[in-house]
Amino acid sequence: MRATPEDWGRLLRRDDVVVLLAERDGHALGYTSAVRRLHLWSGTDVLAVDDVYVRPGARDQGLGRRLLVAAARVADAEGLTVTWGVAPGNHGAQRFYRRLGATLRDTVVARWEPAVYRRAIAGAETGR
């Protein structure tokens, strides 16, 4: 994680950012974060879940389900589709998402870090 507390403060003020916290007796047990974003193929926005996290000692108590259902309530206000990714090897998460009724699709997510794409930009500018 690279975001600083200052980054989080700035991001949480954005209208397109949703963070939902699960807590008990004032102690954070988990959270889900999402960003509302344009989805050109559907011609509408989607609520893209960035992370679902439940502390190890609080797992298997239904908190993940409650967090995602709370995110669905946010999306339902406008009938938005909720999307998220899961690592191919994370079979426990995949089982959990299937139990929620989610459709899992095989896909490859490409990630292009600035240091790498800057080399491609420089190569294009020099004709390489």
Which pLDDT belongs to residue 2?
Answer: 86
Q: Give all domains of the chain, ordered by start, each with its CATH number.
A: 5-126 (3.40.630.30)
Least confident of 9-18, 39-48, 92-101, 102-111: 102-111
Task: Specify the long-range contacts of residues 68-74, CB closer than 8 Å, at least 24 apart.
Answer: 68/32, 68/100, 70/20, 70/32, 71/18, 71/20, 71/32, 71/34, 71/47, 74/18, 74/20, 74/34, 74/47
Q: Is the pLDDT of residue 106 over 80?
A: yes
Q: Dump pLDDT digits (tens) for 62-94.
A: 999 999 999 999 999 999 999 999 989 999 999
pLDDT at res. 110: 75
pLDDT value for 107:
82
